[in-house]
Amino acid sequence: MEYRRLGNSGLEVSVVGLGTNNFGWRMDAQQADKVIHQAIELGINLLDSSNSYGRGLSEEHIGKSIKGMRSKVVLATKVSSSTSDGPNQRGTSRKHIMEEVEKSLTRLGTDYIDLYQIHYPDYDTPIEETLRTLDDLVRQGKVRYIGCSNYAAWRVAEAIWTSRALHLETFVSAQPEYNMLDRRAERELVPCCQAYGLGILPYYPLSSGFLTGKYHRGQPVPEGTRLSGNSRAQERTLTGSNFDLLERLAAFAVEREHTMVELAIAWLLATPAVSSVIAGATKPEQVVDNAKAAPWHLTPQEKQQVNDILDAARRG
């Protein structure tokens, strides 16, 4: 496994991270434990969760699995999503963050979170209130670093400059949806993060499993997959043009003795601002497959060749 600094911080994270949004609803504690232990065995140290994943069970499963191994992992979790009905049960107000961080610490079985991220922007809470609260948590030792997720580039810049003006802790990372089929982050967010020194942590790097090759043209969607039961996502993803693109990308990977999964992750890692790719897994074997991407360093020529394939598909 290889490691990179998380943005401009001194924190080192594995270039392949483990996403845990399947824990607690698609996976029970025993399944999660096997996946986590496989990840740690392979040198994956970044475990990414949220207080909303599995209604808190994701954090609970992680906490149980890492007992005695806390120093081997970088725990990343999030706050902002709705946790229950009623007022003050969502968002990034001081009240909600302060209450939720304590719950996350308890579920994770630790006294500090390495990376605490704002899951979604809160349109009702001033960014100053959110950042002052996060700054307090860092000063209290409950949080080491802070980051954001699903933020537009202008919101990242606003947060950075607010932190600088008020001498507060600043975001070290941004977590967007980013993969070969969804390159919206490249328009503004990637340049923004490069300019301000934030590490990018792409999620859904395999486009809900489409880039693994598990879906096949003209065949039913396999039960238990992320796209099963989601007709809108199927219509959007399982198109003829996307299958054509997948075939061209897979051929590129095979020619270089790699898998499509390895190409999808290695392509993201070829962007210098990307610190780690958050890849989910429901089985230990999938963790192994994801980790195999770490040693593949696409050359500038290879990265351009892949981009040419992607650009040609986008033009139709």
Instruction: State the Cα–Cα distance between residues 272 and 126, nearest whole angstrom.
Output: 31
- In the chain, the domains with their CATH numbers are 3-212+264-296 (3.20.20.100)
What pLDDT sits at residue 220?
79
* One-letter-per-residue 3-state SS of 36-87: HHHHHHCCCCEEECCCCHHHHHHHHHHHHHCCCCHHHCEEEEEECCCCCCCC
| Contact present, 176 and 203 (Cβ < 8 Å) | yes
What pLDDT sits at residue 89?
81
What pLDDT sits at residue 174?
98
Instruction: State the Cα–Cα distance between residues 132 and 83, nearest whole angstrom.
Output: 22
Q: Check the CA dihedral 210-232-313-304 and report its sign.
A: negative
What pLDDT sits at residue 121?
96
- Which residues are catalytic, by number? 53
Q: Can you list the alpha helix ranges (DSSP code H) found in 78-188?
A: 94-108, 127-139, 153-166
Instruction: Give the Å distances, CA to CA, from 151 to 72, 127, 199, 282.
Output: 29, 12, 13, 27
Instruction: State the Cα–Cα distance between residues 290 and 292, nearest whole angstrom.
Output: 5
What pLDDT sits at residue 316?
66
What pLDDT sits at residue 225?
75
**pTM score > 0.85 for this model?**
yes
What pLDDT sits at residue 84?
82
What pLDDT sits at residue 213?
83
What pLDDT sits at residue 315?
76
Count the neighbouring beta carbons within 10 Å of the beta carbon of residue 256.
12
pLDDT tens over the chain, length 316 residues? 999 999 999 999 999 999 999 998 889 999 999 999 999 999 999 999 999 999 999 999 999 999 999 999 999 999 999 888 888 889 999 999 999 999 999 999 999 999 999 999 999 999 999 999 999 999 999 999 999 999 999 999 999 999 999 999 999 999 999 999 999 999 999 999 999 999 999 999 999 889 988 888 877 777 777 777 777 877 788 888 889 899 999 999 999 999 999 999 999 999 999 999 999 999 999 999 999 999 999 999 999 999 999 998 777 6
What pLDDT sits at residue 219?
78
Half-sphere CA count of 5, side-chain side, radius 13 A: 7
Instruction: Give the Å distances, CA to CA, from 41 to 4, 37, 44, 269, 281.
Output: 18, 6, 7, 21, 15
